[in-house]
Amino acid sequence: VGSEMCIRDSYTIYAAIKALPAGSMLWVYASDPGRPECYRTISEIWARAEKAPVQTEDIEAEVREVLLDSVRHHMVSDVPVGAFLSAGVDSGALLGLMREIHPDMEIQTVTLAFEEFEGTQGDESILAEKVAHRYGAKHTRRLITQDEFNEDLPKILDAMDQPSIDGINTWFVSKAAKELGIKVAISGLGGDELFGGYPSFTDVPRWVKHFRIPSRIPFLGDMVRKAGALFLGPNSSLSPKALGLVKYGGTYPGAWLLRRGIFMPWELKKMLAPGFVREGLQRLEPVEHIDKTMGSNLAMPFSKVATMEASMYMRNQLLRDSDWAGMAHSLEIRVPLVDATLLQRMAPLLTARARIEGKKWLGHSPKNRLPEEIIDRDKTGFTTPISDWLGAGLHKESGRNHHWSRTWTRHLAAEWCL
């Protein structure tokens, strides 16, 4: 709960059962189950990329070839391949590449729409329809209502292998794809982690720069947090994260935990039993684990954040959500931007220049490029109006307006008896 509402690799919801870590293999013998052996880590790929010389001067053209190769491999199928489509660069560029690879193939695309988002920036369906038309896709706009959410909520909770705050969107788009008869769908998942599309790629390095020295002063972070909480009071509109900047903001693992966190460690005792919280933090050691995952061989801020996003948030949450939500609807979700070969070829290109223009390179990768209004559009994320669906007033905590994920996390904590 302190980082995301998900179970960290390789833990499960059962204390005595662990999952095989990503990038590992395990030999099981009759006398001994053995230990996992790691054969690949994302941090090692980025570390090699920082030192690898790039032979081409036309990086954008090379990015295009690498992406085309990945999409081509992910479109091999015995059944037609559809696509999830938003108003973002990731799914739009992939659709453009799909059309380029198969000029005459019918490609079905699906976009979610919500009454609550109509007329706002959160309504991606209008731009998504334009992108679908640009690439000649057979497009469907699927409207999701609160009544449907209420009806599906028990099914969603039942289908979850483990608690997660990010699977509702994938549930409904997978449901919509199944209704259209789609068996395999391309998703743009992984584009933000690879090409630097999240706010964390700017926020985390900036925080580290400003709080590196204060965070090293013993006990200062805890003193600032406690004094701030006492002075501001429980009804302050200030985010709980702001009081943790001195304690966590001076290192990349701490700053990333702060950026991605839903509830800070000191808030957990208000939600869960104190003994449970204490044991959990001792076992998980979130900051130390993030630091170990990031590794010590990375020099570039971009590589550090990309490693943390892909190794933690994407691996432990987004990919798992795609698995359970997709399989609940007998749908295979393919992610061309999450591919070992792609990462090995792409990472040196992304680290070759001081200024990384990843999303622009991605948007320009199809010969029929994405419109600039898509490439330059502020990121909104693939979200749902869940705070409205869960009930008026639940989005506010002690007079504060908080991110919807806090409301949903509290709901999940109650459902899973955490």
pLDDT in tens, 195-204: 999 999 999 9
The type of residue at 333 is: I
* Residues paired with 111 in a beta bridge: 141
Which residue, chain included where needed, has tokens 């965070």?
A: 215
Q: Quote the pLDDT of residue 204.
A: 97
The type of residue at 116 is: E
For residues 199 and 178, give the distance between their C-alpha atoms in angstroms, rounded to a whole number.
33
The helix-helix angle for 59-74 and 340-350 (nearest 10°) equals 170
For residues 304 and 168, give the distance between their C-alpha atoms in angstroms, rounded to a whole number.
29
Which residue, chain included where needed, has tokens 């560029």?
A: 93
For residues 119 and 372, give the distance between their C-alpha atoms in angstroms, rounded to a whole number.
21
* Residues paired with 83 in a beta bridge: 109, 186
For residues 284 and 144, give the distance between their C-alpha atoms in angstroms, rounded to a whole number.
37
pTM value is 0.91
* Peptide linkage before 10 cis (omega within 30 of 0): yes
- Residues 263, 1 contacting (CB under 8 angstroms): yes
Using alpha carbons only, how large is the chain's radius of gyration in Å? 22
Which residue, chain included where needed, has tokens 């449901």?
A: 175
Q: Quote the pLDDT of residue 384.
A: 78
Cβ neighbours around 254 below 10 Å, total: 24
- Residues 252, 203 contacting (CB under 8 angstroms): no
Q: Quote the pLDDT of residue 232.
A: 67
Q: Residue ranges of the chain with pLDDT lower than 50?
A: 1-5, 392-396, 398-399
Cβ neighbours around 345 below 10 Å, total: 18
- Residues 20, 288 contacting (CB under 8 angstroms): no
Name 286's Cβ contacts closer than 8 Å, sequence gap at least 6. 2, 3, 257, 265
